[in-house]
């Protein structure tokens, strides 16, 4: 059962407590990185056998495997991926920045030129769920930016294959090369290069604690997007919200991971109780019910700020969630009041899952309160800004 708190009647440490994944993996990750640097491809084959339980004969995904993936997936699924890709492309094309120059008195010219990062590495998780949407969200902005090469790494299954949906998404998004390698060893390969995998200039994409730690350790050798924590959703809802919808949206994040957090902040005590009951009704219906239940019971909470929706917005700004839903009447009245959130979903008919998979805005978002100072992944993440200055002899005199 999810915990319900009355704001102002309990300590702030309970209201604003954060999920803190305890993962003491620094030493293990450092060893993996050092081994990949020393042994290259041989280390990747060894780690595939040890961690993924697969004996690979080649790291690269072939064109034949991509063709087979298209044959394996449902045609309607591929069509939806193409439509989602078009939405993502349309949104991110609006983010493109242009170079500029200013001509000053005496022939002085100053300016800024925009240059795409040359090679980008994309990490796509494997494990218990496949995320073709991550492929689209992380590679399409890089393509729009003009990156010359996008290299994708993703863990293979025990049969040595890559999930067909991942391969189809990669082809639709324009990924150039794909390799069957996951974990910290994949990050190390992208950062330092091996016989098969090219060294890149920036690594993006989510992963488990080992992947996050590896990105942290190679930062400086390469750029990274962010250190992603567990997934988060915070719903601000008033009495007009549908408790079935609110509960479903909270569970859509809870089923991602046992460490995910789902929070409702409402000015309505009756809605709080109705959502709590809906969570219990819907939980057993989920295919990942065990994961979702542990997430809800460990990290979920309902906060009642009775009769004060602006207090609910204040709480949301303090938490600075990855995903924020405004399930209220006239959500645009509150948009400017939101200072800290990764992505905002407006109104009662805009589920967070729509944004994660289809609408167009990016779903690689700041977590763990970093929305206070960080932004979603964008075209800006795949370009560099370089200043330039020109003076004439007369201007210098």
Selection from 275, 68, 50 nearest residue 163 by Cα: 68
Q: Angle formed by the axes of helices 183-192 and 41-51, to 10°?
A: 170
Q: For residue 322, indicate whether it is catalytic.
A: yes
Of 92, 232, 255, 323, which one is the catalytic site residue?
Answer: 323
Lookup result for tokens 């704001």: 7
**Tokens linked to 184:** 């910290």
CA-to-CA separations, 252 to 97, 203, 209, 355, in angstroms, rounded: 34, 27, 21, 12
Contact yes or no for 185/103 (Cβ under 8 A): no
- Token pair 């809605």 is at which residue? 271
93 in active site: no
Cα–Cα distances (Å) from 80 to 66, 67, 126, in that order, read 18, 18, 21
Sign (positive/negative) of CA torsion 377, 383, 387, 390? negative
For residues 97 and 363, the answer to whether their CB atoms sit within 8 Å is: no
Structure tokens at 46: 């060894």
Count Cβ atoms below 10 Å from residue 250 Cβ, excluding itself.
Answer: 30
In order, the DSSP letters of 161-205 are ---HHHHHHHHHHT--EEEE--HHHHHHHHHH--SSSPP-SEEE-
Structure tokens at 225: 């997007």
Residue of 232, 255, 278, 322 marked catalytic? 322
What is the distance between the alpha carbons of residues 368 and 229, in angstroms, rounded to a whole number?
A: 6
Phi-psi region of 271 (alpha: psi -120 to 50; beta: other; left: phi over 0): alpha
Q: Report the catalytic residues.
A: 322-323
């Amino acid at each position: 059962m999810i915990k319900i708190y009355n704001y102002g009647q309990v300590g702030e440490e309970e209201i604003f407590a954060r999920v803190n994944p305890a993962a003491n993996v620094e030493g293990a990750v450092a060893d993996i990185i050092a081994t990949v640097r020393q042994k290259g491809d041989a280390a990747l084959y060894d780690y595939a056998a040890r961690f993924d339980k697969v004996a690979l004969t080649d790291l690269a995904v072939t064109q034949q495997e991509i063709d087979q993936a298209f044959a394996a997936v449902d045609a309607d699924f591929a069509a939806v991926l193409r439509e989602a890709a078009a939405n993502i492309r349309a949104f991110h094309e609006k983010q493109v920045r242009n170079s500029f120059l200013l001509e000053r008195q005496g022939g002085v010219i100053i300016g800024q030129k925009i240059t795409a990062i040359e090679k980008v590495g994309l990490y796509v998780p494997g494990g218990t769920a496949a995320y073709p949407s991550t492929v689209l969200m992380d590679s399409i902005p890089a393509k729009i930016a003009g990156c010359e090469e996008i290299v994708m790494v993703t863990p293979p299954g025990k049969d040595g294959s890559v999930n067909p949906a991942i391969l189809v998404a990669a082809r639709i998004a324009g990924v150039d090369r794909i390799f069957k390698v996951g974990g910290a060893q994949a990050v190390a390969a992208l950062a330092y290069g091996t016989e098969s995998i090219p060294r890149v200039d920036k690594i993006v994409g989510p992963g488990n604690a080992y992947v996050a730690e590896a990105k942290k350790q190679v930062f400086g050798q390469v750029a990274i997007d962010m250190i992603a924590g567990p997934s988060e959703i915070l719903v601000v809802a008033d009495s007009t919200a549908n408790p079935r919808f609110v509960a479903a949206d909270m569970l859509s994040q809870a089923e991602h991971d046992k460490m995910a957090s789902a929070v409702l902040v409402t000015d309505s005590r009756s809605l709080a109780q109705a959502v709590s009951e809906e969570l219990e009704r819907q939980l057993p219906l989920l295919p990942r019910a065990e994961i979702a239940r542990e997430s809800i019971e460990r990290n979920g909470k309902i906060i009642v700020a009775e009769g004060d929706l602006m207090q609910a917005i204040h709480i949301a700004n303090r938490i600075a969630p990855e995903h924020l839903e405004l399930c209220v009447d006239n959500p645009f009245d509150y948009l400017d009041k939101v200072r800290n959130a990764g992505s905002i979903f407006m109104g009662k008919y805009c589920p967070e899952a729509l944004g994660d998979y289809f609408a167009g805005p990016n779903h690689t978002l700041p977590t763990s309160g970093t929305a206070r100072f960080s932004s979603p992944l964008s075209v800006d993440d795949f370009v560099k800004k370089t200043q330039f200055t020109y003076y004439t002899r007369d201007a210098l005199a």
